[in-house]
Amino acid sequence: MIRHSAFTAPGRFWRGNLHTHSSRSDGVLKPEEVCRRYRDEGYDFLALTDHFVGAYDYPLVDTVPFRTDSFTTILGAELHSGAMANGELWHILAVGLPADFAPSDSPDFSPKPGQETGAEIAARAVAAGAFVAIAHPQWSGLTLEDARGITAAHAVEIYNHGCATGADRADGAAIADLLLTEGRRLSLIATDDAHFHEPDHFGGWTMVKSTENTPEALLAALKRGDFYATQGPEIRDFRVEGDRIVVECSAAVSVIALGSGVSANAVHGASMTRAEVPLRWRGESPWIRAVVVDAAGRRAWTNPVWRD
């Protein structure tokens, strides 16, 4: 049996958003109001990740004053430097940055000759202690070759709610699955990318398993992959038992097993809280992940488990 560590690690699940903007960059609300809204919506933690460019004076917003006994924050930013294949500037999510993280030479959202590449600034963020994710690959027009270059990343955004509501380009699954098939040990996060100028908030979040709701404990759990991503459904267990997966969850209408290439099987039903999905695949995928779908069409995604 292979059981994902998120469901064996000690502690409990904490609900948080890892991609958020405020008036310190292109968001509508002040940082303290952003934190208040997430706290009062029942979130346990928040990373405020304003755009780290010169036009906004390279903000790495101090959210420590907005922490309470039941709500914490993790310092972070959305980093931008270097051009992707389509000529657009890179968008790289970095959560857990030190307050003195040095800016790149990125005066605005246009690539500049001689500035750090996306791969370089991602690696520098990881070296500084951050959890790093490739942000909204579909919205960005990211190619597989682009994604291959960010070798330091821990994760890919499999769902970005702001990109869903504002552009209908929310998906990161295609890029993530191709990278997994090439052997990249990546995890999958769901985020809001909230700016609060449209209904781009409270639509995708990450449930992190930790003994404490502290920035240090949450960040360590993120780096270990002890979490799952969701739009609402809960996942309570995920394991591989021989030629099937077993998922325990909140009421679902579909549970899907996915692997490399065309490997996919599903079971469907009404109000399922436990599902066994047979793995009737042509070959043996080195990795397996699961998706839970509820009656409203909302999804939850496990991180992949590896057969080795």
Q: What is the CATH number of the domain that holds 161?
A: 3.20.20.140
Q: What average pLDDT does this structure show over 264-271?
A: 98
Specify whether 184 is located in the same domain as 226. Answer: yes
pLDDT digits (tens, 9 = 90+) for 57-92: 999 999 999 999 999 999 999 999 999 999 999 999
Q: What is the pLDDT of residue 30?
A: 98
Which of 230, 245, 264 represents a domain boundary (last residue)?
A: 230
136 CB neighbour count, 10 Å cutoff: 26
284 CB neighbour count, 10 Å cutoff: 12
Q: Let me know if residue 33 belongs to a domain.
A: yes
Which pTM value belongs to this model? 0.97
Specify whether 82 is located in the same domain as 174. Answer: yes
Q: Percentage of residues in the chain with pLDDT exceeding 70?
A: 100
Whether 106 contacts 78, CB under 8 Å = no
Instruction: Decide: helix, strand or coil at residue 243.
Output: coil
- Round the average pLDDT of the chain to a whole number and report it: 97
Instruction: Decide: helix, strand or coil at residue 155.
Output: strand
H-type alpha helices, 191-245: 215-224
Which of 170, 196, 230 represents a domain boundary (last residue)?
A: 230
Specify whether 218 is located in the same domain as 244. Answer: no
pLDDT digits (tens, 9 = 90+) for 213-257: 999 999 999 999 999 999 999 999 999 999 999 999 999 999 999
Q: Let me know if residue 3 belongs to a domain.
A: no
Q: Let me know if residue 2 belongs to a domain.
A: no
Residue numbers of the domain that contains 159? 8-230
What band does 283 get if pLDDT is binned at 50, 70 and 90?
confident
Tokens 């303290």 found at: 32
Beta bridge partner(s), residue 46: 17, 73
φ and ψ at 121, to 5 degrees? -75, -30
Q: How many domains does the chain have?
A: 2
Q: Higher pLDDT residue, 284 or 15?
A: 15
Specify whether 115 is located in the same domain as 146. Answer: yes
Tokens 């994902």 found at: 4
Which of 213, 230, 247 represents a domain boundary (last residue)?
A: 230
Q: What is the pLDDT of residue 282?
A: 78
Specify whether 192 is located in the same domain as 290. Answer: no
- CATH code of the domain covering residue 278: 2.60.40
